[in-house]
Amino acid sequence: MRLLALVLILTVGIANACIIEIREATFYPNGTQSVGRDWIVVNFTNGYGYEIYDVQIGEIAKIPTLLPGQNVKIDPYLELLPKEFPLVIMAKVEDLGERSRIEYVVKNFGKDMEILISFPRFEGFVDCSDCEVSERINFYLFVPSNSSGSFSITAARDFVIPDAEVGFKIEESQNLSFGFKIPISIEKGRGEKWNAKFQTSNPTDKEIEIHVNAWVDLCGEIREIFNESIKLRRGEVFSNAAELESACVPVFFFKGKAKAEDFCSYEIIPCYKFGESYIVGYAILKGFSYSPPASPTPTAPPVFPYTPPPPPIPPTAVWPEEVQLTGIVEANIPSTRTLPLRIKVEYAIMMVPATLGAFTSMFLFPVLNRRGVVASRSNAKILELLYPRFRIYTVPSNPITGGILVEPDEEVVSALLSVGLEREDAELIAVAIKIKKPIIARDRRSARVALACGVPVIGYGRS
């Protein structure tokens, strides 16, 4: 259960962070590390319930406008100069005669951190301290800022420690500011003089800054009434009034702009290269071998892996030009990567309650033998059962932690939209057709359409 808990923390973080920095990192047991690619992903959703514009995320990103619930994801948004993580991992070996004891020390020079270190179970493994052992040997550490943690493994006298995965994240925050429309009103009347009352309010649950400007057209002559910036607390009302004498009918104008400030999470996570794609959420801790001499001579030192020189520094980071977004956001920035980002997190295998599925599963076990399934983030619970035993495929607009992103064919998506499917369902079915894999349908309607297209369906979702 501790594994599942940590994994869920990582999953939620990746899903909710509006800025994600991903660093390709390798740690070595002599305390060094190397960092390869380092890049920024923007993944921002307008969760405020109203249209916002001029969205500024720190000094990193600017988005022109977003409708309520609209999401923009740009990967990569910005390539950075490589920077090391504030972690040092060191190993030392103690000769116990017939056995060896390997002690690892993890030093944290950053913020408090939860760390998972996972080794494949290897030949010669005997025991470990404060660990969970199955097909892998897992250690869970909470290392406070500027502190250290440790763990140990007991192995045979001669051993080879394989490469391990190191999972963690660093949580920061970024200032967020945006503009939005506010309700304004003008009440015009006439007594002895012409009069007008101008009013606006703060409809949000936070303090906002507004700029208000009022003027009057008086027989073709424009006169400013007021022009000021003020702050309004939650629910607070601004009002102002003016009166004037005029032989003709005056025309009053009132304009207001609002700006709010907030923050969003900035998370820094490691990754490592896997073929031509990346495993996100984990760095690599290199393994090493140890063979003490048979005679009672001084103990031979362990053989650590070669530590490569620091990677060459790439050219100065280039900021992308502002992306104009309208309707459904699908902003793409040119990338040197030709394969989609692959995200992997290990899940504990657990029984799925019978209430998870609202209708009968079709072809469940035959299709799973194909070792791959297309699914969306709404199927997270059943994916805990399937991953990592089966590959999970999804679309870039709906990334899943552990999923392999596949771009759907837009012509197929358009055809599926024409029969009344939601875009998410249409994209998932288009990917299933493209890669010839079964799909976990979100509801009965999408299941029927998928079956009609010749796609095997695992029935799971709303009836």
pLDDT in tens, the chain (463 residues): 333 333 333 332 333 478 999 999 999 999 999 999 999 999 899 988 889 999 999 888 888 999 999 988 888 888 999 999 999 999 999 988 889 999 999 999 999 999 999 999 999 999 998 899 999 999 999 999 999 999 999 999 999 999 999 999 999 988 999 999 888 899 988 878 899 999 999 988 888 999 999 999 988 889 999 999 999 998 899 999 998 888 888 999 999 889 999 988 999 999 998 888 888 999 999 999 988 766 554 555 565 665 555 544 444 333 333 333 322 222 232 333 322 333 222 222 222 232 233 333 333 434 444 468 888 877 766 776 666 667 888 887 777 766 787 888 888 998 899 888 888 889 999 999 998 889 988 888 888 898 888 888 876 554 4
For the chain, the straight-line distance linking the first and the last C-alpha, in angstroms and rounded, comes to 31
Among candidates 330, 307, 334, which has minimal Cα distance to 39?
A: 334
Tokens 């520094």 found at: 313
Q: Could you tell me the sign of the dihedral formed by the alpha carbons of 4, 377, 10, 335, in that order?
A: positive
Pick 2-173+264-290's CATH classification: 2.60.40.1170, 1.10.150.20, 3.30.470.20, 3.60.15.10: 2.60.40.1170
Amino acid identity of residue 261, one-letter, is E
Between CA 216 and CA 221 the distance in angstroms is 8
220: number of Cβ within 10 Å? 6
Tokens 């916002």 found at: 52
Determine the topology of domain 176-261 in CATH: Immunoglobulin-like (2.60.40)
How would you label 436-451 residue by residue, b for 16+ Cβ within 10 Å and e otherwise?
Answer: ebbbbbbbebbbebbb
- Give, in degrees to the nearest 5, the angle at Cα 431 between 427 and 432: 115
CATH class of 349-462: alpha beta
- The helix or strand, by DSSP H or E, that contains position 412, with its residue range, turns out to be helix 410-417
- Residue 225, burial from CB neighbour count under 10 angstroms (0-12, 13-18, 19+): middle
- Say yes or no: do domains 2-173+264-290 and 176-261 share a fold: yes
Helical pair 423-435 and 410-417, crossing angle rounded to 10 deg: 130
Between CA 173 and CA 162 the distance in angstroms is 36
- The helix or strand, by DSSP H or E, that contains position 249, with its residue range, turns out to be none
Question: Which residues of 288-362 form beta strands (DSSP E)?
Answer: 288-290, 342-343
Both tokens assigned to 310: 């620091």
Give residue limits of the domains in the chain: 2-173+264-290, 176-261, 349-462
Tokens 């998506």 found at: 413
Rounded to 5 degrees, φ, ψ at 314 are: -75, 170
